[in-house]
Structure 1
Amino acid sequence: MNDKIVQKIESLPPLPKTIIEIEEFRKKPDKELGELLRIIEKDALIVSTLLKIANSAMFGFRTKVEAPSRALNLLGINFTVSIAIGGSIQNLLKASLKPYGITSDDFMKGSNIASSLANIWLSSFEIEHQDDIILASLLQEVGKFVLASIIVSDGKQDEFFAKVEASSVKDAEYQFLQTSTSKVTAQIFRHWKLSDNLINLIEFVDDIANVEEGFKQGVQILDVIRTAASVIEPLSDENVNKALKKAQIYGFDMEILKTSIEDLKNKLVENEEI
């Protein structure tokens, strides 16, 4: 990893105390709504993000959600934890994503769609590290903020985007930065001392041949989700077809995945999210 990326990661501000408390809560075998609510209510940014997402068209609840306690009850513990951690991390990593041809709002929308797909798909079968996979599906692309800031500071924004359009994000990242989003995201989380499971899952999404056997299926799931619900045009026909081809190669039940994607697409169309 080049020096600019390392320096950028090492200069990141520390995680807010609330996120450290939520990460500790996430590791507990028995999780209580009341404890999570007490942690969340101490952080105005998390409360604001939680209510914004709970009231978005993605969920389409019949009445406005005005209290974090109601949002937590409606969204559930795992999804609330993902939103809290994801929103805070995105706030810390503020940078223009123009080199990728998207905005921060596009990024948040794509990340939430990825997390929703993980929730729906993984509810259909047993998988080790399930909670970590769901959180990783939301967070695995945050390295793009660090990479984009370096591309912009180097004045290569237009060249990089041209390569993205002509080839792929992966090719552009390796040509200009000799690394990938997944590697950088893992290094960011290592810097912040987040869970080893989360790091192991994310770090090898572009290098599945070298992942530890115990994490292999989880990494394959993340690759499928990242492909289908890319932050660039999530759930487009092209991205879904690419994801289905990968899932077939990995040996996943194709009908379960197709049904999960269709269920999510229908829900988003009904609520005018795509």
Structure 2
Amino acid sequence: MGAQCACPPPVDRPTLLELGTRLATLPETFHRLTEVLHDPMSTAADAAEIISYDPDLASRLLRFANSAYFGLRSPVDNINRAVIVIGVAQLMVIATGTCLIRSFRGIPSRMVDMRTFWQHSVACGVAARILAVHAGLEATDRLFLSGLLHDIGRLVTFIHLPDHAACLLQEAARRQVRLVDIEEEIVGADHGEIGAALLTHWNCPPYLVDDQRAVHAPDIPERRHAILAAADALANLFGPGSSGERLMPRLSAETWQATGLAPTAFATAAAQLERQVGDLLQCMEAL
């Protein structure tokens, strides 16, 4: 099994959670869009005006609106129409993903391969939305966003605590356990708790913070959290990429039962996953 590494002592929890606030700041575009898209009085034109001042995001959204994902007969040639085509919820998903990809592009590859990290993140988001549709849940794009962000707390460790991260990876391989099983022991907190602190600092909606804490929890009482856990398993089994985990996540019978899904839903979702992930990765230029 190999020799045990000389791990640095775990970081005390207040210090660890404060590290997350130094990770990165989201662009002003993100915060302005968040305000507009959560304002019931706002219009597509309001969102289009904000996006028009961000050429990178504008071009990405135009490419997305014209992609096979929507399959429109005539091309979308302006931001206002792109916002209408994509929809408010989907716009928030793509804008958030684009901003996050831009913010974390500089992470050293020796800690994590960001190409595969974002592949897995998008796969989990897509899987969450697919399963949510099968479950008949509303606000499926919110589950997409929670899936997209479900491992973001791990980036705090990779950036700010490289020695802890190296030990975490080595010990997980030596013991043949998942990273999440020993994060609190080696780092001081699991990445869901760290991610929740980060998203709180970024003034993200409360549901995102709550989902961060719950997606990897051993006991998942709420249906949406069970679906997120199932989506993570689906993404690990059938989707591309990895967030650093070597072992498949465990999906208990109780968690699957809490999703309220028939067993056939998992197989159907797996068949849909590859095409939808490929479309989104291409349009978001996450690679």
TM-score using structure 1 length: 0.74
Displacement of 1:175 in angstroms is 3.2
Residue of structure 2 equivalent to 1:177: 187
Displacement of 1:187 in angstroms is 0.6
Structure 1: where are the runs of 5+ without partners?
none
Distance 2:215 2:184 in 1: 14
8 Å Cα contact 1:114-1:137 kept in structure 2:
yes
Aligned pairs for 1:77-226 (under 5 A) are 77-93=88-104, 94-96=106-108, 98-99=110-111, 102-127=112-137, 130-152=140-162, 154=163, 157=166, 159-165=167-173, 166-207=176-217, 209=219, 216-226=222-232
Distance 1:17 1:50 in 2: 17
Displacement of 1:268 in angstroms is 5.6
Residue of structure 2 equivalent to 1:8: 19
Distance 1:55 1:231 in 2: 30
Distance 1:78 1:170 in 2: 30
Distance 2:280 2:48 in 1: 27
Distance 1:271 1:42 in 2: 23
The total of aligned residue pairs comes to 263
Q: 1:148 to 1:27 in 2, by over 3 A?
A: same
Distance 2:103 2:28 in 1: 13
CA-to-partner distance for each residue in 1:158-194, whole Å, 9 max, x for gaps? x332334332121242332132221111110111222
TM-score using structure 2 length: 0.72
Flag the structure with larger Rg. Answer: 2
Percent identity among equivalent residues? 18
**Aligned Cα root-mean-square deviation (Å):** 4.0
Greater relative contact order (CA < 8 Å, ≥ 6 in sequence) = 2
8 Å Cα contact 1:228-1:240 kept in structure 2:
no
Distance 1:219 1:91 in 2: 27
Distance 1:42 1:187 in 2: 29
Q: 1:64 to 1:150 in 2, by over 3 A?
A: farther
CA-to-partner distance for each residue in 1:183-240, whole Å, 9 max, x for gaps? 111110111222112211221223364x7x7xx111111111122224996489x988
1:44 to 55, 67, 78: 55
Structure 2: where are the runs of 5+ without partners?
1-11, 283-287
